[in-house]
Amino acid sequence: MVGKLGLVGGVVLAWVLTFVVMGGNISLGGDDSKPVAHTTLTPTTTYPTPTPLGPSKSATTGNANAAGSDDETPGEDATSAEKAATTAPLAGRLLLARPKPRRSPPPVAEFRMASFNVLGSSHTRRGTKRPQKASGSARMARATQYVLDHDLDLVGFQEFQGDQRSVFLRNTGGAYQIFPGNGLDGENSIAWRTDTWDLVKADTVAIPYFGGHPRNMPVLTLRHKASGIAIIATNFHNPADTREYGRQGRWRAAAKAREAELFGQLRQSGLPIFVTGDMNETNSWFCAVAGPGDLRAAAGGEGGRNGCSVAGGYRVDWIAGSYDVQFSNYLEDKSGYVHWMTDHPVMSASVRIEGADFPKALGRPAA
């Protein structure tokens, strides 16, 4: 009896254990067609993702705080990668900022220029108003030496008559060229040193002279060899009141108006403009032309941007240039040496042109 009870108890116990293990999904009947109620268990414990058996070089640890661990230190691979990212590139060379190319500074042109009325030969012959002076040829020989001694690179000559031009060219031995250089128009010529300048363009403009008769006066484009900077050089002689021709105020005014118009046109080129000449007029000439041409006087003062102002002193001979050129060492030479040569002072000045101020004037320097 006891054996039977033990056997029954064992079966019951086995059935109970099976029921528990199977989650209560055990049918006591034999009819499989009837639905059986079952219970879904909701897990209350989160299990960590299994850790690979070996270390990975292609990824870092995604969950540093595994269940049951309070350690928040990054994995070894993460630490190594972050160190590499902050110290050196993983591969190849470190890219640096490309240095900017060095640029040459803008060129600068420096030279010395003059305005020189040499007193034409016809004024010192016998029977003229200045017969006491030496001949034009003798005076011009000394004037040529003056040009050489003072290292003048650009000269505007007035009353530069034929015999005087011949003396100048002979005594300078090819160091200078002149334009226009012939006939009546050649009396107002520009001379330039051939080792300093290249001639780019030679032109003339008709200016009213005595009695309104026009003279063609020079307008040159020259390029400074050392710097490549181009300039425009002009030279004029406006009519004076004389015993022979009478009052010439009307024609001086006409000449001045034409020159002002010309400077306004030349200004549009963007090249530095220079003017030399015997204008037979004081500050009123400069103030009339300086505005249109945006000019400054080598003697001091300017007339284009802030009203007309000119340094003191009486002068009818002028050197002027574009507002942004720099004049220095200005000289009005009235010495006895000069007086022997002519009845005018020799006006001269040093010039400096910054290429950055005249970008349109820049070109290739001569070899």
DSSP for 105-147 reads: PPPEEEEEEEEEE---GGGSSTTSS-TTSPPHHHHHHHHHHHH
Q: Which residues does 246 contact at the CB level (< 8 Å), separation at least 6?
A: none
pLDDT tens digits along 198-252: 999 999 999 999 999 999 999 999 999 999 999 999 999 999 999 989 999 999 9
Structural domains present in the chain: 108-361 (3.60.10.10)
Cα separation, 308 vs 300, in Å, equals: 11
- Whether pLDDT at 22 is above 90: no
Summary mean pLDDT of the chain:
82
176 vs 130, more confident: 176
Q: Are 306 and 281 in contact (CB under 8 A)?
A: no
The answer to whether the CB of 248 falls within 8 A of the CB of 170 is no
Question: What pLDDT was estimated at residue 34?
Answer: 41
What's the pTM? 0.72
